[in-house]
Each structure stands twice: as structure tokens, then as C-alpha cells.
């Protein structure tokens, strides 16, 4: 907040925010946080919970409130100043010296894409506001508001917004001072007056001076935490990552597949409780099929005279179910062969990311890299390296057992007789030919 923290109590009184037995303090390592002022216990098994904070509805900033505020003549810079310039070290604000720490991680592509999206947004706002005098001055003439301000505003928004049950994605002053823990003591909600409230978790006790914490999402991966909040919780047990996929460069259907799929192709990898690796990618199946398997693209005329790209699988129009292609692919004439191609292709993709993760980081001047960026960048690399190594091993096991499957052996045998080039090759090479 632009207000000095000492002025917070007066602001709180003026705005009818209620702090019940808690206070804001500087936590030193996580910025500001909220501490308990006395020992508190919330009764277990009752709906009655212990309220720690209540913020009136009219202080909640959501899209509806923004529309209302936009009716007044407020300048963008004032909003930026009001939100404050506390640095949230999400990777979009990392410098050119810091960003190479993400090379090979799942955030490398994501951060580049986010910066491009922010650049587009900022360009759109500048264009749309060029004829509005005060905005023209801020965004064009004086250049008071820069692209960097837009990046910082996005970082502040993402790191502070809450998902309220009734008001949706919202900024809530004071509740946005609560830090994260994977063993949280509190949670937020909205009461019958639509106030945003912070409540002690039922059955929990916190002692005087203990920090009140919430969970920013226990299923969020290390990459998601770093991307949205600028830190990784070392206590988190959720291990997952999402990597980009691309069609094979020599695939004549590559462009049609991308257009029909309609979103960025990805592979999701996660470690389940118990350690088993799970991965999924609908696009990996689409990537690995062609016309001989029963895939077809047709351009159809619609009622309005326009043209539509439709996808056919085994002669059925599956355009509207393309995001479920991994399920549709089960009707492949030899599903195990398709699975083998997909497994090999995903394995190769993960291996190339792992290779980059394990390669030396480009030399950098340590004085140009902030300690927190180095700490979280290295932690992300370590978490994703371990997950990728285990996923590659799991894929390798699956590949080997598929190569022994009856259908696969028979299919590969028939291929060998019909294609003398393959005769004499090792089974592992044959698998590579299916990638
Ligand atoms: C909603 S704000 C919480 C209040 C914030 N500490 C402040 O000074 O205003 C979220 C930001 O607090 C910091 N933070 C919250 N929990 C943290 C944690 N467990 N470890 C490190 N930083 C944390 C991160 O910078 C995060 O982006």
C-alpha cells in the first residue's frame, strides 16, 4: 500500500475493517504478514468459527467494482501508486540476467508467452486510449506509465488476488496481507453481509505471536507458485509440471492439427501420492496419428457461407471432442502400437527438457542476480529435474513392456516382412521408428 504501515490502524478504523485479535507485522523474510495477538482456539466440528478479520463489501475490488470505479475520472498512475511498489519477484519481473535460471524448466516458455501477452495488452490499452486526453498524456505524451508498470501491476494482481465464493476473483485489502503456508491456520470466505472474512480453521489453536497463514492452493506446482507468487514453498508435497509439445516438424498435417486442437499443445506430468508417475497429453495422441491410422481433415462449408475445418477419426466427425483425443484414440486398429508411438514421443520430449535442465547455466555475474531469484530458480530446476528423471524412467518401463505385448510383437513382425529395411534391426530401434 502507498500508505506507510503505521497509518494502517487509522485506515482500518476509517474503513470499518475489523481486526479481531490479530495485527499486521513485518515478517522480515516474507514481507508483511498477520500475527495473532493472543492464544486462540476455534471449536472443532461446529459451524461457528473464529473470525480474525472482516473487510466490508465495498472495499472488495473485483471486476464489478472496477466497472463502477471506471465511471469516475481516476488516473491509472494513481491506481498504481495506491496498489504500491512492493517488489513481488514473479519471473515476469526477473531481469535479463535472472531469466536464464529458468532455461529448460516448464516456466521458460510460459514466462516468454506471458510477457508477449502483457505486451499485447499494453499495446491495446495504449491504442484504445490514444484519443482520451488524460490517458493519452499518461500513456503517450509524458510516458508516465510504462510497459514495466504494466508488468508490475500484473505481478501485484496475480500475487494478491483471492477467489471469493460470491464476488469471484477479487483484491481484498488486509486479507491480502496473509502469507501462505502448506499447514495453514486460517481460510477466507464471505459472510451473509458479503464481507470478506478471515477465519481460524476449526479445531486449530494459534498462540500469541504466531503467524496467521492461509493456503494459496495445495495442488499448485512449484512452477505455478513461482509464476504467480514469486516463491516456492519447500514444504509443498505437490509435484507436477506442464511442458509444451509441438507437432513433428516433418508432419504434413502439423498445421491442421494445431488449428484443430485450438490451444497450446502440452504434456502434464505429476507424481501421485505414493510416488507413481502420471502423465497425460491429448495432443501427443493427435501428434502420433496420420491418414493411414484413420485421421482426416475436411474443409466444410457452413450455413453462413464460411468454411470450417473439421477433424474426422475413423470416419466420425470428432472436431468438438478433439481435446479428448486420447480417449478417441482407443479405437485405433492397434491401440498398443499407437500407445507405443505416444510413449516414445513424450519420452523424447521430456529427455530434451531434462538435457537442457542438466546443462550448465550460462555464465552470469552473481552481483546481477537477486538472491531470491537464484534460490527459487535453482529449487525449481531441482524439483523438475527429479520429476523428469522419474517420468522418463516410468515411460521407459512402459515402452519396454509394450514392446513385449502380443499385438505389438505381431504388428512389428508383419512390418518387418513387408519392409525389408527393418529386418535385422534391434527392437529398441524399431520403437524409435514409431516416434
Ligand atoms: C498476498 S501477499 C501476502 C502479503 C505480503 N507478504 C506483503 O508484504 O504484502 C503474497 C506475497 O507474499 C509473499 N509470501 C507469502 N507467503 C510466503 C511464503 N510462505 N514464503 C515466501 N514469501 C511469501 C510473496 O511475495 C507473495 O507474492
Residue 85 beta carbon below 6 angstroms from any ligand 1 atom: no
Contact 213, 79 (CB under 8 A): no
- For residue range 302-323, what is the model confidence (pLDDT) as tens digits? 777 888 899 999 999 999 999 9
Into how many domains does the chain fold?
2
**Does residue 26 belong to any structural domain of this protein?**
yes
Q: Any idea what the CATH number is for the domain that residue 40 is in?
A: 3.90.1410.10
Kindly state whether residues 277 and 422 are assigned to the same domain: yes
For ligand 1, whether the C-beta of 19 sits within 6 Å is no
Domain boundary among 206, 229, 252: 229
Indicate the angle between helix axes 406-418 and 371-404, nearest 10 degrees.
80
**Residues 124 and 180 both lie in one domain:** yes
Tally of CB atoms within 10 A around 375? 15
> Do 211 and 318 fall into the same domain?
no
How many other β-carbons are positioned within 10 Å of the β-carbon of residue 342? 27
The ranges of the chain with pLDDT < 50 are 1, 73, 76-77, 80, 85, 420-435
Q: Please tell me whether residues 100 and 209 are part of one structural domain.
A: yes
Q: Which residues of 124-160 are buried (b: 16+ CB within 10 A; e: fewer)?
A: eebeebeeeeebeebbeeeeebeeebbbbbbbbebbb
Predicted pLDDT at 423: 39
**Same domain for 280 and 203:** no
Out of 184, 204, 229, a domain closes at 229
Residue 164: inside a domain: yes
Residues 70, 175, single domain; the answer is: yes
Looking at the domain assignment, is residue 234 inside a domain? no
Query: What are residue 374's phi and psi, to 5 degrees?
Result: -60, -45
Same domain, 345 and 267: yes
Which of 180, 198, 218, 376, when mutated, tests ligand 1's pocket best, judged by the most ligand atoms within 8 Å of its CB?
180
Cell 496420420 belongs to: 290
Compute how many other C-beta atoms are within 10 angstroms of the C-beta atom of residue 425.
13
Instruction: Tell whether 131 and 14 lie within a shared domain.
Output: yes
Q: Does residue 376 have its Cβ closer than 6 Å to ligand 1?
A: no
Question: Do 110 and 143 fall within a single domain?
Answer: yes
For residues 323 and 174, membership in a common domain is answered with no
Say if 255 falls within a structural domain: yes
Question: Residues 154, 288: one domain?
Answer: no
Whether 273 and 155 map to the same domain: the answer is no
Atom in ligand 1 nearest the alpha carbon of residue 216: 16
Q: Is the distance from the beta carbon of residue 230 to the nearest atom of ligand 1 less than 6 Å?
A: yes
ipTM of the complex: 0.99
Cβ of residue 226 lying under 6 Å from some atom of ligand 1: no
Contact assessment for residue 281 and residue 331, using Cβ atoms and an 8 Å cutoff: no
Question: Of 229, 249, 272, which residue constitutes the final position of a domain?
Answer: 229
pLDDT score at 136: 78
Q: What is the CATH number of the domain that holds 349?
A: 3.90.1420
The confidence score (pLDDT) of residue 75 equals 56
Judge whether 76 lies within some domain: yes
State which of 231, 233, 235, 371 you would mutate to test the pocket of ligand 1, scoring each by most atoms of that ligand within 8 A of its C-beta: 231
* Residue 65 resides in a domain: yes
CA distance 226 to 222: 6
Domain coverage including residue 360 = 239-433
Task: Identify the H or E element spanning 162.
Answer: strand 162-164
Q: How far apart are CA 388 and CA 269, in angstroms?
A: 8
User: Looking at the DSSP assignment, which residues form a beta bridge with residue 214?
Assistant: 180
pLDDT tens readout for residues 197-229: 999 998 889 999 999 999 998 889 999 999 999
217 Cβ inside 6 Å of ligand 1: no
What pLDDT shows up at residue 330? 92
Residue pair 355/103 in contact (Cβ under 8 Å)? The answer is no
- Cα separation, 355 vs 146, in Å, equals 37
Amino acid at each position: 500500500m502507498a500508505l506507510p504501515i503505521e497509518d494502517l490502524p487509522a485506515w482500518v478504523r476509517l474503513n470499518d475493517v475489523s481486526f479481531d485479535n490479530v495485527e499486521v507485522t513485518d515478517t522480515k523474510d516474507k514481507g508483511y504478514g498477520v500475527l495473532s495477538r493472543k492464544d486462540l482456539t476455534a471449536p472443532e466440528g461446529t459451524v461457528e468459527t473464529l473470525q480474525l478479520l472482516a473487510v466490508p463489501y465495498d472495499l472488495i475490488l473485483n471486476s464489478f467494482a472496477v466497472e463502477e470505479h471506471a465511471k469516475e475520472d481516476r488516473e491509472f498512475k494513481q491506481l498504481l501508486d495506491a496498489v504500491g511498489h512492493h517488489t513481488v519477484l514473479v519471473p515476469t519481473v526477473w531481469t535479463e540476467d535472472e531469466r536464464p535460471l529458468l532455461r529448460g524448466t516448464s516456466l521458460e516458455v510460459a514466462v516468454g508467452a506471458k510477457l508477449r501477452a502483457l505486451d499485447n495488452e499494453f499495446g491495446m490499452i495504449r491504442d484504445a486510449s490514444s484519443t482520451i486526453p488524460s490517458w493519452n498524456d499518461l500513456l503517450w505524451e509524458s510516458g508516465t506509465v510504462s510497459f514495466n508498470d504494466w508488468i508490475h501491476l500484473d505481478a501485484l494482481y496475480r500475487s494478491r488476488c483471492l477467489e471469493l465464493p460470491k464476488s469471484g476473483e477479487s483484491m481484498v485489502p488486509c486479507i491480502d496481507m496473509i502469507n501462505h503456508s502448506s499447514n495453514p491456520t486460517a481460510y477466507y470466505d464471505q459472510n451473509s453481509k458479503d464481507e470478506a472474512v478471515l477465519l481460524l480453521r476449526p479445531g486449530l489453536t494459534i498462540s500469541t505471536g504466531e503467524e496467521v497463514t492461509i493456503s494459496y492452493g495445495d495442488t499448485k506446482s512449484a512452477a505455478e507458485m513461482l509464476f504467480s507468487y514469486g516463491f516456492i514453498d519447500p514444504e509443498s508435497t505437490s509435484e507436477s509440471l506442464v511442458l509444451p509439445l509441438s507437432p513433428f516438424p516433418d508432419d504434413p498435417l502439423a498445421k491442421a492439427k494445431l488449428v484443430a486442437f485450438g490451444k497450446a499443445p502440452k504434456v502434464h506430468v505429476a507424481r501421485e501420492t505414493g510416488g507413481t508417475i502420471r502423465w497425460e497429453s491429448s495432443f501427443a495422441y493427435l501428434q502420433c496419428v496420420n491418414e493411414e491410422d484413420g485421421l482426416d481433415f475436411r474443409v466444410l462449408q457452413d450455413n453462413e457461407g464460411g468454411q470450417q475445418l473439421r477433424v474426422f477419426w475413423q470416419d466420425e466427425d470428432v472436431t468438438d471432442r478433439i481435446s479428448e483425443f486420447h480417449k478417441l484414440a482407443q479405437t485405433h486398429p492397434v491401440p498398443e502400437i499407437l500407445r507405443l508411438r505416444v510413449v516414445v514421443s513424450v519420452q523424447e520430449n521430456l529427455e530434451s527438457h531434462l538435457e537442457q535442465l542438466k546443462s550448465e547455466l550460462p555464465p552470469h555475474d552473481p552481483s546481477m542476480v537477486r538472491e531470491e531469484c537464484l534460490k527459487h530458480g535453482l529449487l525449481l530446476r531441482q524439483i523438475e529435474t527429479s520429476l523428469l528423471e522419474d517420468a522418463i524412467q516410468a515411460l521407459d518401463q512402459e515402452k519396454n513392456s509394450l514392446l513385449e505385448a502380443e499385438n505389438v510383437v505381431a504388428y512389428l513382425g508383419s512390418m518387418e516382412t513387408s519392409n525389408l529395411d527393418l529386418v535385422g534391426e534391434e527392437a529398441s530401434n524399431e520403437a524409435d521408428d514409431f516416434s
